[in-house]
Amino acid sequence: MRFFPTFFDLVDKPCLVVGGGEAAARKLRLLRRARARVTVVARDPIEEIADLAAAGEVDLVRRGFVDGDLQGRVLAIGASGQDEIDTRLAEAAAARGVPVNIVDRPALSSFTVPAIVDRDPIVVAVSSGGTAPVLARRLRARIEALLPARLGRLAELADSFRDSVKATYPSESARRRFWENFFDGPAAADALAGRESQAREKILDLVNRRPKKLVPAGSVAIVGAGPGDPDLLTLRAAALLQDAEVIVYDRLVGPGVLEHARRDAVRVYVGKSRGHQAKSQDEINALLRAYARAGKRVVRLKGGDPFVFGRGGEERDYLRRHGVAVQVVPGITAATACGAVAGIPLTHRDHAAAVTLVTGQGKDGAPEPDWAALAGSRHTLVIYMGVATAERTTQRLIAHGLSGDTPLAVIENGTRSDERVILGALQGLPALLRNHGVRGPAIIVIGEVARHADAATHIAAPHALAV
């Protein structure tokens, strides 16, 4: 390790920036975020720097650099882009013991400026030692995606209770258990979700209650995993996967999605498919409750969105009835994601003023859908889990007035590497599925909007080739 990682306290400290171009402006923005007092030395600064100087936000000296500019500075940055000036600044700073960074010149620098994830007061810095700044920025982006936007507010909330906690728990080990319980529990979840008043009430209750033995409060997050492509996970879903101790997941969760989970998390597969169930819904509900009551942070991971044919509502109601803290994180549902990647708009001013999502696998004993409404004109119909019931669906829709020539698209394994888009017409749907060996997971998009699929210039034959 060549560069020792550290953080400077620059609040109200005098710093120097040499240079007046865009590179200097970028460093100036960072120093101002750190609330440093900055002097810029530049003959011809860009408008951004000049405006800040005119507003009294920075001091601007319109000339070239001289060694005396380093007098009293705690840190200097060279961003002139001119070898002679940058080298002279680096040598003068070294002679005076002033830490210096020369932009894109690690050999002349005594410190480097890392890629920064700012969740003030939480700050994460990623450095390549100046060897690969683009790589450092890419790593920063990945880390930033995992950290909740309100992480800084959570840290500030905890800080506001530090004295109270210290007075209530004089033992260092007891305080550590308290904070572990807080950060793992519902109070922190409220703070990260922006419910600060509820979070304050919960942490105040924890302080006042002072239980003899702090047991971590378990919770369940019902999380939408999206349609399969792990890059389509929401930021909150990715963060919860990193935090979860137990992950209970379905068959439709893409394998790459689980790579976002922490490696020591317990993974429990409860996938269901037609004619086969790893666990019944009652067993899944009881499993979630048991893990939560054991103090575990549980993620119930579902393909797509948990509230769109995912039975997430049933699980949420069950957990709430049994006193388990539960939150729901939406995911990108298959209809919108698969339609988008296939180039199919679900609504279109020329073709469809409405879209209906319907499942081909209803609850046992449920009444038939309103086929007349589903067969209406200027309407897009998206069928989930409809492969096994395709023949009945085709017959019912045609019997209720929908033309057998209505175009459709079958999207199998949408957004995944093995995705297929198969085009055809309604009257040939059962044969289309048989001929192409479609087994799912797949959605069926029925309506004029299917003509917009990227897979074809037109949809005339009922047995178009897969792409």
Side-chain-side CA neighbours of 272 within 13 Å: the count stands at 15
CB atoms within 10 A of CB 357: 17
In a domain, 422, yes or no: yes
Per-residue pLDDT, 273: 62
- Closest residue by Cα to residue 157 from 132, 131, 134, 189: 189
In a domain, 134, yes or no: no
Q: Where are the alpha helices (DSSP H) in 162-310?
A: 162-168, 172-184, 186-192, 196-209, 235-243, 281-293
Task: Say yes or no: 258 and 344 in one domain.
Answer: no
- Domain termination site, one of 84, 113, 142: 113
Summarised one tens digit per residue, pLDDT across range 26-56 is 999 999 999 999 999 999 999 999 999 999 9
CATH code of the domain containing 241: 3.40.1010.10
Looking at 96-140, which runs of residues are DSSP E strands? 100-102, 115-119, 122-126
CB atoms within 10 A of CB 368: 8
In a domain, 128, yes or no: no
346: pLDDT confidence band, cut at 50, 70 and 90?
A: very high
pLDDT at 193 over 50: yes
CATH code of the domain containing 397: 3.30.950.10
In a domain, 141, yes or no: no
State how beta strands 272-273 and 122-126 pair. unpaired
In a domain, 187, yes or no: yes
Task: Say yes or no: 46 and 96 in one domain.
Answer: yes
Do 305 and 283 meet the contact criterion of CB atoms below 8 Å apart?
A: no
What are the percentages of helix, strand and coil residues in the chain, rounded to 5? 40, 20, 40
Query: Residue 153 has which token pair?
Result: 């507010």
In a domain, 433, yes or no: yes
pLDDT at 66 over 90: yes
Task: Say yes or no: 26 and 58 in one domain.
Answer: yes
pLDDT at 287 over 90: yes
Domains of the chain: total: 4
Task: Say yes or no: 360 and 460 in one domain.
Answer: yes
- Closest residue by Cα to residue 45 from 29, 31, 24: 24
CB atoms within 10 A of CB 63: 9
- Domain termination site, one of 113, 136, 171: 113
Residue with tokens 């932009």: 103
Contacting residues for 357 by C-beta, under 8 A, at least 6 apart:
308, 309, 333, 335, 382, 384
Task: Say yes or no: 66 and 14 in one domain.
Answer: yes
Query: Residue 427 has which token pair?
Result: 């009257």
The neighbouring-strand residues paired with 330 are none
Per-residue pLDDT, 362: 63
Task: Say yes or no: 345 and 461 in one domain.
Answer: yes
pLDDT at 462 over 70: no
Query: Residue 229 has which token pair?
Result: 């492509």
CATH code of the domain containing 205: 1.10.8
Do 309 and 173 meet the contact criterion of CB atoms below 8 Å apart?
A: no
- Closest residue by Cα to residue 413 from 325, 341, 322, 362: 341
In a domain, 64, yes or no: yes
Higher-scoring residue by pLDDT: 244, 465: 244
216: pLDDT confidence band, cut at 50, 70 and 90?
A: low
Tell me if residue 238 falls in helix, strand or coil.
helix
* Residues 251, 277: Cα–Cα separation, whole Å: 10
What is the CA angle 316-242-112, rounded to 5?
145
Tell me if residue 348 falls in helix, strand or coil.
strand
The residue from 250, 296, 302, 305 that is catalytic is 250
Read off the pLDDT of each residue in 119-137 and give the average, rounded to a whole number: 89
Task: Say yes or no: 300 and 418 in one domain.
Answer: no
Task: Say yes or no: 90 and 168 in one domain.
Answer: no
Query: Which class for 244: exposed (0-12), middle (13-18), buried (19 or more C-beta within 10 A)?
Result: buried
Summarised one tens digit per residue, pLDDT across range 3-18 is 888 898 999 999 999 9
145: pLDDT confidence band, cut at 50, 70 and 90?
A: confident
In a domain, 163, yes or no: yes
- Domain termination site, one of 85, 113, 141: 113
Task: Say yes or no: 72 and 155 in one domain.
Answer: no
CATH code of the domain containing 104: 3.40.50.720
pTM above 0.85, yes or no: no
- Arithmetic mean of pLDDT over the chain: 88
Read off the pLDDT of each residue in 291-304 and give the average, rounded to a whole number: 92
Task: Say yes or no: 74 and 34 in one domain.
Answer: yes
Do 224 and 304 meet the contact criterion of CB atoms below 8 Å apart?
A: yes
| 272 is known as an active-site residue | yes
Task: Say yes or no: 324 and 343 in one domain.
Answer: no
Query: Residue 264 has which token pair?
Result: 């020591």
Report the 3 state secondary structure along 11-68: CCCEEEEECCCHHHHHHHHHHHHCCCEEEEECCCCCHHHHHHHHCCCCEEECCCCCHH
Measured in residues, the chain has a length of 467
The residue from 104, 118, 272, 279 that is catalytic is 272
Summarised one tens digit per residue, pLDDT across range 151-172 is 999 999 999 999 999 988 888 8
Report the 3 state secondary structure along 183-220: HHCHHHHHHHCCCHHHHHHHHHHHHHHCCCCCCCCCEE
Read off the pLDDT of each residue in 53-71 and give the average, rounded to a whole number: 96
Considering Cα of 447, then 453, then 458, then 461, what sign does the dihedral take? negative
Least confident residue range of 128-142, 209-223, 246-260, 293-307: 209-223
Task: Say yes or no: 444 and 349 in one domain.
Answer: yes
**Residue 28 lies in domain:** 1-113
Side-chain-side CA neighbours of 258 within 13 Å: the count stands at 21
Looking at 311-367, which runs of residues are DSSP E strands? 325-329, 354-359
